[in-house]
Structure 1
Amino acid sequence: MTTYPKLWRELLGLSLRRQRAYTVATLAAVVCSVLVVALCALALREAVDAIVRGDTGRAIAAAAVAGIVYALNLVLQDTAGILRVTTNDRLGRLELHPQVHRDLAKTEGLDHLERTDFLDRVSIVRSSTGHITMSMWNAVMALSNALKLLITVLLLGSVSPWLALLLLFAAIPVWCDHRGQGVVRRVEVETAEAYRLHQHLSELAVGASGGKELRVSGSAGQIVDRQAQAWRDAMGPRTRAQFVAAAWKLTGWLVFTAGFVGALALITYRAAHGHGTVGDLVLTVTIAASLRQTVAGTVQSTTATAGSRRVLEPYLWLRRHLRGEADRSTGSERPPARLTDGIVLSDVSYTYPGTDRRALDGVTATLPAGAVIAVVGEYGSGKSTLVKLLGKFYRADSGTITVDGRGLAELDTEAWRARSTAAFQDFGRFRTTFARTVGLGDLPHVDDRERIMRALEETDATRLLASLPDGLDTQLGRELGGVDLSEGQWQRTALARAAMRTDPLLFVLDEPTASLDAPSEQAIFEQQMARARTLGRTTGAVTVIVSHRFSTVTGADKILVLDKGRLVESGSHDELMRLGGRYAELYGLQATAYAD
């Protein structure tokens, strides 16, 4: 809990910096609301006592003050709420929400995105930035309501010290609510995975991407049944937890009600025996009448503050995790201007989180500068994992990767990626203009139409451009009022994006033609092989081609054959065919299959 006040100070400081006018107005309204109840009660007591003394002028003045303060209280109740919601909405949506996504995007690796504990917390935080910022305002309101309660009890204590015991009774509902909310928080974390499954199945059931297969297979009903079961698995325990929390709340209020009834009995007894002034009686009744609302506000704000742990704990965990990821990014060296030796992997191993099988197991290989390296193997052999290690998306569990003798881990990640380019198997589909979705391959030149056109020409994508209604300015994405592309067209766009950078040191083609027809695939590989040779001469770039079709990589300088994460063979096509090992076997099987 000690970290919460620090976080709330941070959020309040952010609100004052970025939403100053709204924040100051909200705080002013909250401060005024603390004072008005006491001022109204004191003014009423003074008015009644003045009437008893026969001081008409003082009585009128005090009554006027009481009326003004009461009216101000009514206005402040609505105004403070509106200001608080508006300020929080602006802070959550315009400041914290983008910051969370920036922090997620800045993390250099991808392995955390494959961890369920990380994804559970991300799903909570992404949908709850408004609740996170509201926790700060809930804390402010809890403090202001506690001050209201303290002032109220002090005023009652001025009439009789016994009435101050109401503070103890007022604390019991707060404690009970905390216990109930603790149950709710624990159950929500425990059922987060089931809730994510429900959301995924809900999107799958109504999404266009899987709609065709669901209808052809007739499995829509099964998806709906599984969605309903996931909902029951998530919401059943949550509903029961809410009932438990409600029982705790009821218990607390019953105890407070008993104390409140006793206080009213004491007030009545004192009034009947002539103790205190008539003004004291009016003050007591006025304060007592507002005490229920004050206690309710205190309980509500305190409960909301405590309940915010549901979103604060995942948020704080996420911040610690991302900070730890940033601390691990120690590389600061600049990559060389030109590769002279190449990239060397020495006994490199990697295991995905949550598994016990190594995706790469003791891989040792040399990728010479200027060379075209093909990586082949069956599905699950570790091909894409190797590529991701070279891109610094993962960190090797053991072993080293060096670039011209310098450790890849020691190179500045942003600088290394600025000298890399890639077309991945799971390529991005960016719903923006066609020019921009290609230009994103080299951000400093994202609007350079001349370079974009060269990239399109190098990847034989000019015919695709000609088919678009507005050329380079065509909006992509039917859901955004634009046009949609076929899978092959999206992949060709990704290839053009990879051609935007003209001086990479690492050029990756990870199954770059999986969605293209055979003639287009062969043409693309010939173009990209020619580009790889040009880059090899100019920057010493290492080109890494991952392909499931062996016939397309026969021209590579070196072929790495992976099997179950291990490097079992390496050499040129002719060398591996003469060896008669795993590569020759797979090549022969594929050649026979295509011949048939």
Structure 2
Amino acid sequence: MTERTARPGARLGALRHLPTLVREIAAASPLLLAASLSLRLLAACLPVLSLYLAKLILDGIVAEHARPAPDPGLAAWFADPGRARLAGLVAAELGLALASDLADRLTSLTETLIGDLYANAASLRLMAHAAALDLAQFEDSAQQDRLERARRQVSGRTGLIGTVLWQFQSVVTLASLAAGVAAFTPWLMVLIAAALVPAVLNEWHFTQAGYRLAWFRSPERRRLDYLRYVGASVETAKEVKLFGLSGYVTGLYAQVAGRLLAESRSLAVARARWGFVFASLGTLAYYGAYAVIVWRTVAGAFSVGDLAFLAGAFQRLHGGIKEMLLGFTQITNQAQYLDDFYSFFEIRPQIRTPAHPRPVPSPIREGLVFEDVGYRYPGTDTWALRHLSFAVRAGETVALVGGNGAGKTTIVKLMTRLYDPHEGRVLLDGVPLPDYDLDDLRARIGAIFQDFVRFDLTAGENVAVGRIGAAADADRIAAAASRGLAAPVIERLPERYAQPLGKRFAGGLDLSGGEWQKIALSRAYMRAAEILILDEPTAALDARAEHDVFARFRDLSAGRATVLISHRFSTVRMADRILVLEAGRVLEEGSHAALMARGGRYAELFTLQAEGYR
């Protein structure tokens, strides 16, 4: 938390988001919002009307006690004007009670619907903005915390909608009650309000402390979510069981959760202790005012009906003023959490389409060129790449070889403009990548990563993600699956291309690692891109499946600039050119035959791997 957000004034500053929230609620459903406000206004006026009717009824009863007893029977009762008026007042009070119950239920209904609509709209906005951010921003732990806080607030802040509308109702109710009480004893209103100020300030202090605690604990809560995932998910169950990790993971969870619980418990105890002390002041003020009203009634200044009205009004004012002021405190507190949501949208991607982009050439004629490229990851002084220069020409297959940390993955992310270099340039047909439309550029690139996503979607959709705009083209999906060797796998599924995959949802079927990799390879055929990047494309395939893939590899890479990353030299040797990387630079370059003849690092690595098969 910054110094700005830690200051008390920041609580009020966070209220700047309320107009935006109201506009978004109105945009979600103007009709429902108007209905809710009307219902709240009606409900706000009912308490003072109900109390006034009770006053009239009591005064009427006292007046009737001074008269002779009425004749038995309803006819005689209603024939008397005074008693008929009394019966009308009781009926009116019944009507108000029914109206109040109906208004409460309709208000709850409309605001539930408004909350759902707003949560859906906010979720869509959150996902759209997250999709526009840079990959480096996702990889930054501080930005991950901001995303986590924003994600939690999407549904959590819908309660603020009801709180704000309820506050509007409370203000109207208290204004009407205060007007009625002020007609009798205005100075007692000042006494009650003054007695409640310490309680409100106390609540203000502890809600601020609660927000600070939640803000600082975002990393720990994200860690708890991760430990829950590790300890209780289908994706991790195998390793957790085989390695006996359950006790270790639950121990870590208990350790982190214990710290959070201890801090929360300490804050809750202090809040309850001081809350009782200051609330007692308000209670004493209320009963002092009540004693004054009783004394003045006995002295004849007020009627019994006046006593009932004032006692009821003071009781509601006592609770209502306190709740209204504390409600304002809660709104400012929740507005800070709302600030977590809206501040996420203040993150701006650095990798964007220029104002006047150049069209991406089609077909690509020259290919990709790295000119003296350097890149280092945020928070480190170590260069992942430095003074790197090479080319991938159109129609050429270039393989990248090197140990872990050699820079292969960083090169791929620069090619796809997931990163921008800190030094040098990456060119496509002689034009720097930042000069092109970002979406158009990525649409021309087909990348299949080793850690490809196994979507819990249907088999057909898992292939179609290679070109999601063609998801309705069943023939194209089937052709891509056939060329990527996934067709036989899909044809064996009970629902074929409509079969849900994965274990997350009911009815889903999981595939083996090799079968999933064939699905991923089919995405490359689905995309029909002009630049193809294959990161360990056969890592999970058996020898026969690998042979079948590369029997078709020339078809897949024909006419495309292809980058191939693999630790299998049987795969690498088929490339037109091989780049051997070390510490972010090109150590060796050439064809398989040329590099073997040179007897350098590539030849050493190839020989070591070949000996492993003897």
TM-score (norm 2): 0.86
Residue matched to 2:606: 587
Deviations 1:57-96 (A, max 9, x none): 776665654553344334434543444334323432x332
Deviations 1:545-568 (A, max 9, x none): 111223322232332222233333
| Structure 1 residues not aligned, in runs of 5+ | none
One of 365, 373, 387 as aligned partner of 1:362: 387
Residue matched to 2:349: 325
Preserved CA contact (<8 Å) 1:108 1:393? no
One of 144, 150, 165 as aligned partner of 1:140: 165
Preserved CA contact (<8 Å) 1:476 1:485? yes
Preserved CA contact (<8 Å) 2:476 2:526? yes
In the superposition, relative to structure 1, how do residues 519 and 233 fare at CA in structure 2: closer, same or farther (>3 Å)? farther
Is 1:37 aligned to 2:61, yes or no? no
Comparing 155-164 and 375-384, the one that deviates more: 155-164
CA distance in 1, matches of 2:609, 2:316: 83
In the superposition, relative to structure 1, how do residues 306 and 7 fare at CA in structure 2: closer, same or farther (>3 Å)? closer
Residue matched to 2:321: 295
One of 102, 107, 115 as aligned partner of 1:88: 115
Residue 159 of structure 1: SS of its match in structure 2? coil
1:92-491 matched pairs, under 5 angstroms = 92=119, 94-104=120-130, 106-107=131-132, 109-165=134-190, 166-276=192-302, 279-295=305-321, 297-299=323-325, 301-309=327-335, 311-321=337-347, 324-325=348-349, 328-330=352-354, 332-478=357-503, 479-491=505-517
Residue 162 of structure 2: SS of its match in structure 1? helix
One-letter amino acid of the structure 1 residue matched with residue 171 of structure 2? A
Preserved CA contact (<8 Å) 1:507 1:544? yes
Deviations 1:330-389 (A, max 9, x none): 363321112122212223233334444333333222222222121111112221121122
Residue matched to 1:13: 23
Residue matched to 1:569: 588
Residue 500 of structure 1: SS of its match in structure 2? helix
Residue 483 of structure 1: SS of its match in structure 2? coil
CA distance in 2, matches of 1:144, 1:282: 23
One-letter amino acid of the structure 2 residue matched with residue 114 of structure 1? E
Residue 358 of structure 1: SS of its match in structure 2? coil
Residue 212 of structure 2: SS of its match in structure 1? helix
Residue 155 of structure 1: SS of its match in structure 2? helix
CA distance in 2, matches of 1:123, 1:212: 27
Residue 422 of structure 1: SS of its match in structure 2? strand
One of 25, 33, 43 as aligned partner of 1:23: 33
One-letter amino acid of the structure 1 residue matched with residue 525 of structure 2? A
CA distance in 1, matches of 2:268, 2:469: 53
CA distance in 2, matches of 1:49, 1:465: 83
Preserved CA contact (<8 Å) 1:191 1:233? no
The CA deviation at 1:218 is 2.1
Largest Rg, 1 or 2:
2
One-letter amino acid of the structure 2 residue matched with residue 298 of structure 1? M
Preserved CA contact (<8 Å) 1:347 1:400? yes
CA distance in 1, matches of 2:133, 2:553: 27
One-letter amino acid of the structure 1 residue matched with residue 143 of structure 2? F
Cα RMSD for the two superposed structures: 2.9
State the percentage of identical aligned residues: 27
Residue 317 of structure 2: SS of its match in structure 1? helix
CA distance in 1, matches of 2:432, 2:418: 15
Residue matched to 1:546: 565
Preserved CA contact (<8 Å) 1:558 1:570? yes
Residue matched to 2:540: 515
In the superposition, relative to structure 1, how do residues 449 and 301 fare at CA in structure 2: closer, same or farther (>3 Å)? same
| Structure 2 residues not aligned, in runs of 5+ | 1-10, 65-80
Deviations 1:97-154 (A, max 9, x none): 23322332x3153222222222223333334422222213312222332333343333
Preserved CA contact (<8 Å) 2:57 2:89? yes
Preserved CA contact (<8 Å) 1:41 1:283? yes
In the superposition, relative to structure 1, how do residues 565 and 327 fare at CA in structure 2: closer, same or farther (>3 Å)? closer
TM-score (norm 1): 0.89
In the superposition, relative to structure 1, how do residues 212 and 67 fare at CA in structure 2: closer, same or farther (>3 Å)? closer
CA distance in 1, matches of 2:394, 2:303: 97
One-letter amino acid of the structure 2 residue matched with residue 330 of structure 1? P
Deviations 1:135-179 (A, max 9, x none): 133122223323333433333222222122123334443332221
In the superposition, relative to structure 1, how do residues 449 and 180 fare at CA in structure 2: closer, same or farther (>3 Å)? same
CA distance in 2, matches of 1:70, 1:465: 63
The CA deviation at 1:481 is 0.7
Comparing 178-187 and 486-495, the one that deviates more: 178-187
Comparing 201-210 and 463-472, the one that deviates more: 463-472
Preserved CA contact (<8 Å) 1:108 1:392? no
One-letter amino acid of the structure 2 residue matched with residue 228 of structure 1? A
Residue 40 of structure 1: SS of its match in structure 2? helix
CA distance in 1, matches of 2:146, 2:37: 31
CA distance in 2, matches of 1:147, 1:253: 24
Comparing 477-486 and 374-383, the one that deviates more: 477-486
One-letter amino acid of the structure 2 residue matched with residue 225 of structure 1? G
